[in-house]
């Protein structure tokens, strides 16, 4: 099954223990959706897709669909899912803050945050086109404008569900994640991005890398991306 974005429905109920939802549950959910107020979720304004690695084991890579909203001009918050399906599993959260706020944190805290420069410039971070009916040129312009903002931000990510190891439930402690910050850190990354691109309409990381060449790269704080610096020491 594919959605309007071309995303395969990977996050199905068969991936999770328990009986399939009953007709009663479906009816109740439909009624609740029509009558209840979901204001915090209505703040979501962007769907981003990228890859995270475990801070404790950077060889483990997880694709994450981010659904993000702005709390202020300097703070964003994102719910992370394992797919873009209506039945996707909620696997984590990410917070993004401005360089100004990042500079106010103490050194130990700053080490938990990662930069987005490589994600943006490499084409790894994408904002999937919502519909084939949206002109690709117009969408690319909007996406590039979004990337111009995201490239300056610092992110802090925790995954709650280790789907990459096949966990059927969210087991164990939350796992600090980080981003990929340079070419060669993750084996087979380009193949992963190719596979990801095939699931979305109009997504081509090589083209995105090309059209983002003009985005100015900010200076990255030396305390960020600590996972990779620690591994080199």
CA distance 203 to 194: 9
Give the helix ranges, DSSP H, for 47-161.
Answer: 99-103, 107-110, 117-122, 136-150
Question: Are 126 and 49 within 8 A, CB to CB?
Answer: yes
Residue 21 CB neighbours (<10 A)? 12
Query: pTM of this prediction?
Result: 0.85
| Number of residues in the chain | 233
Walk along the chain (233 residues) and give the pLDDT tens digit of each residue.
333 333 444 444 447 777 665 565 554 555 555 567 778 777 777 999 999 999 999 999 999 999 999 999 999 999 999 999 989 999 999 999 999 999 999 999 999 999 999 999 999 999 998 888 888 889 999 999 999 999 999 999 999 999 999 999 999 999 999 999 999 999 999 999 999 999 998 899 999 999 999 999 999 999 999 999 987 76
């Amino acid at each position: 099954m594919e959605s309007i974005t071309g995303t395969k429905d990977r996050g199905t109920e068969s991936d999770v223990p328990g009986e399939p939802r009953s007709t009663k549950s479906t009816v109740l959910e439909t009624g609740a959706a029509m009558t209840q107020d979901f204001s915090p979720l209505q703040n979501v304004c962007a769907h981003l897709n990228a890859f995270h690695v475990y801070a404790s084991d950077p060889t483990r890579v997880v694709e994450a669909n981010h659904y993000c909203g702005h709390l202020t001009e300097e703070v964003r918050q994102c719910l992370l899912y394992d797919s873009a399906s209506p039945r996707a599993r909620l696997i984590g959260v990410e917070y993004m803050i401005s360089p100004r706020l990042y500079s106010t944190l103490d050194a130990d805290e700053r080490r938990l945050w990662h930069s987005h420069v490589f994600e943006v410039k490499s084409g790894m971070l994408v904002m999937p086109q919502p519909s084939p009916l949206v002109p690709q040129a117009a969408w690319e312009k909007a996406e590039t404008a979004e990337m111009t903002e995201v490239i300056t931000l610092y992110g802090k990510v925790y995954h709650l569900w280790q789907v990459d190891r096949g966990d059927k439930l969210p087991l164990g402690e939350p796992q600090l994640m980080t981003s990929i910050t340079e070419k060669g850190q993750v084996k087979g990354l380009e193949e992963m991005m190719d596979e990801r691109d095939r699931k979305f309409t109009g997504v081509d990381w090589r083209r995105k890398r090309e059209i983002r060449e003009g985005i100015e790269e900010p200076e990255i704080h030396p305390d960020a991306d600590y996972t990779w610096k620690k591994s080199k020491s």
